Structure 1
């Protein structure tokens, strides 16, 4: 750590203030999921105080020790996110209908932030190279009710070959040395070394080169890290501009914990010269007729309205995907669009994702739970019948948490991997 502090002393004219702040507790934050609830409406619901984050209109500072321990978090109404990490996604100015890529997406904070701006319209590719982290990403995408995402697990090089010139907006929140996480994560301090900084900077260059290849003419790219090292931040910006002269640096910002209310983040926005926007072969895998029929019969009772999109067979299941979805052949895809369910021996069995991804006003069959019942539901317990029959969305205060099957009792179908202990 002595070498790290020496470097920071050279970087910061107000180093003493930075050094003093290292002994202070880290900032915590949450971001309202506007796919499900407005930021001010969420503020009224939560039992703890919220204070607005200046660079994200849907973000809030919290002092609550464990802000994720509410049923509203399980329902996907908000995402627990470090406040300064919220600064990168807004720079992209993502719009509904665009093609957007988050290249290093796990655990999903920035990717779901982008999804909110897209409002369910367009194509959002969320990629994570490491399988275990990709599964965590998928869980968060599902919880937040993102219905227009394709979650992939691939090397950036493989994606660059597939998607050359395709995306309008790209976010590269690259793996880094994590100097901005020293107060939050002990591992960041334990793993720090000049060698690790240099290794990260070299890896970031390779990832950025892949990202630039996938950027359409006139597109925008944001490069972000949660570190302060100049090798990973400013020098990589200089490298990008030198290697790719068709890029222009539009703006950049660096957040330090002693100057602003955030742990530490760097973000730079680039634009690309006008040029071509690639077209890809559309997905051709139509849904199996049997599955379509089962879904039609099930959804007539479960939903009040038809959900927008195109039905495709994906693995053993049925998914609802954006009309403009590209072919998935040759890609390692964990999820495409909204997973609706599957054929279970001639019966349609709905997926957990359906309860969380369908608009709540589209759900016809619901079971409202008390606060005590919600805790039992999240533990996987069976509950007394609510007087209905068949599948229903289990809700707390009107917001879906998952699925159950009502009858003699309310049979719990909350996923075993998500249950609280």
Structure 2
């Protein structure tokens, strides 16, 4: 691989006698990983159902390697939100942030959603996940992945860090910053990153990272935890950025991260020499079956305060309420009617922790339940993905080997006259091996396809 000379010289200084091992790692095949959505399926059940050859990633509780010749993104289980495809080292930051149900959590640079989906799973439907990305197009991909994973308690935002700060100062229990970076740790995975590095290298990104981390630090409550990560080796972007925050804000201190035998300590000598920086973690591709990564976990000193619930009184006009209630009565999942909001035709289930955020650019506030159209309610794709098969009163369950499964995902009308259902007409929750995929409308044994057009199998 044609690595930039300045990069090579710096890596020789950093790695010294390990440099040759690092260079040889470029001859190794990249590793492919998937992370199981444990809100939808247990690891034991997934291992029984999984059609691919997999083996555990030892430092990720719900992570597995798979063969790069497989195509897990072209499988019905992927469309059921049962797993997320993610590079193994990139799974590490979200696995090391101790998110608990009921926390308020910010994923600062969240797209396309690899880390946000894991944080959302940890919340178990309680608390609030604010997932932000400054790019609108990337935020749309983020929203899709969050909905695919069935995470209801979300606020998907498209804002700058300084704008978020005006609304969320000292609001979050936990914050994850997977910072935009020069990407040196991904050169083997994607050599095209090298040309981007040559245009905008470590100095460019270090300036951006320091602005982000200082603003995010002010959004963290006293007593909260902030995890900072990059996929680069650059000391300016890693230890240098962490030391910058510590110099700027005396409330912060580094915390030891849960380790693994292949993890390397941070390198104080690459910054100001403070021994505290050894609490950071470096992941090297010549020491682990993964690409390069850096992490630091910080604690904000002080006593944490508990967020109060949203006291907004949402009002639904009676006509809308009757139509909506008729459908919601078919669902056994608990839905607090006090937190349902109708905006125009669209119906949302809002997190109890949401604030009044007028003026913030966002793509989704809470769970989109569906739309009220001409005296009828049409449930959303997002609602289908949140539900379990046992939580709707009539389902059509297809086997993964049934050719109708892929036909459904392609948007085709299905003959399902051979399948026993609890309701012979109307809305059906369509499942693959009892894992929801989307909606269909049944009439005389024919299922009219209601699968989300933009999600269809191509």
TM class, shorter-length: over 0.9
Q: 2:236 aligns with which of 209, 231, 234?
A: 231
Q: 2:286 aligns with which of 249, 258, 262?
A: 258
> How far off its partner does 1:194 sit?
7.8
CA contact (8 A) 1:165 1:276 kept: no
Q: What residue is the counterpart of 1:123 in the other structure?
A: 128
Which secondary structure does the structure 2 equivalent of 1:391 belong to?
strand
Quick check: 1:350 aligned with 2:379? Answer: yes
CA contact (8 A) 2:31 2:68 kept: no
Q: What residue is the counterpart of 2:29 in the other structure?
A: 25
> How far off its partner does 1:282 sit?
2.9
> How far off its partner does 1:143 sit?
0.3
Change in CA separation of 1:379 and 1:196 when aligned onto 2, cut-off 3 Å:
same
CA distance in 2, matches of 1:305, 1:193: 52
Q: What residue is the counterpart of 2:54 in the other structure?
A: 50
Q: What residue is the counterpart of 2:15 in the other structure?
A: 12
> How far off its partner does 1:306 sit?
3.8
Deviation larger for 327-336 or 376-385: 327-336
Which secondary structure does the structure 2 equivalent of 1:12 belong to?
helix
Quick check: 1:246 aligned with 2:283? Answer: no
Which secondary structure does the structure 1 equivalent of 2:45 belong to?
helix
Q: What residue is the counterpart of 2:432 in the other structure?
A: 396
Q: What residue is the counterpart of 1:326 in the other structure?
A: 355
CA distance in 2, matches of 1:277, 1:137: 30
Q: What residue is the counterpart of 2:80 in the other structure?
A: 75
Q: 2:441 aligns with which of 389, 395, 405?
A: 405
Q: What residue is the counterpart of 2:453 in the other structure?
A: 416
> How far off its partner does 1:61 sit?
1.2
Q: What residue is the counterpart of 1:296 in the other structure?
A: 325
Quick check: 1:164 aligned with 2:193? Answer: no
Q: TM-score, normalised by structure 2?
A: 0.88
> 1:141-156 residue pairs with structure 2 within 5 A?
141-156=146-161
Q: What residue is the counterpart of 1:210 in the other structure?
A: 215
CA distance in 1, matches of 2:301, 2:333: 43
Q: What residue is the counterpart of 2:90 in the other structure?
A: 85
Quick check: 1:110 aligned with 2:146? Answer: no
Quick check: 1:37 aligned with 2:73? Answer: no
Quick check: 1:190 aligned with 2:218? Answer: no
Q: 2:310 aligns with which of 282, 285, 293?
A: 282
CA contact (8 A) 1:285 1:312 kept: no
Change in CA separation of 1:379 and 1:284 when aligned onto 2, cut-off 3 Å:
same
> How far off its partner does 1:368 sit?
1.6
Deviation larger for 78-87 or 288-297: 288-297
Change in CA separation of 1:99 and 1:192 when aligned onto 2, cut-off 3 Å:
same
Quick check: 1:2 aligned with 2:23? Answer: no
> How far off its partner does 1:279 sit?
5.6
Consecutive unaligned residues of structure 1, counting only runs of 5 or more, are: none
> How far off its partner does 1:343 sit?
0.7
> How far off its partner does 1:276 sit?
6.3
CA distance in 2, matches of 1:266, 1:177: 12
State the number of aligned residues. Answer: 420
Consecutive unaligned residues of structure 2, counting only runs of 5 or more, are: 257-279
Q: 1:270 aligns with which of 298, 304, 325?
A: 298
CA contact (8 A) 2:106 2:172 kept: yes
Q: 1:372 aligns with which of 378, 390, 403?
A: 403
Deviation larger for 49-58 or 312-321: 312-321
CA distance in 1, matches of 2:182, 2:352: 40
CA distance in 1, matches of 2:32, 2:147: 23
CA distance in 1, matches of 2:99, 2:329: 34
Deviation larger for 30-39 or 281-290: 281-290
Deviations 1:192-245 (A, max 9, x none): 138521111100011111100101011110000011111101111111111111
Which secondary structure does the structure 2 equivalent of 1:110 belong to?
helix
Change in CA separation of 1:319 and 1:392 when aligned onto 2, cut-off 3 Å:
same
CA distance in 1, matches of 2:111, 2:358: 23
Deviation larger for 21-30 or 211-220: 21-30
CA contact (8 A) 1:311 1:321 kept: yes
CA distance in 2, matches of 1:160, 1:304: 38
Deviations 1:141-197 (A, max 9, x none): 000000111111111110011100110100000111111111222321221138521
Quick check: 1:339 aligned with 2:368? Answer: yes
> How far off its partner does 1:308 sit?
4.8
Change in CA separation of 1:83 and 1:53 when aligned onto 2, cut-off 3 Å:
same
> How far off its partner does 1:344 sit?
0.8
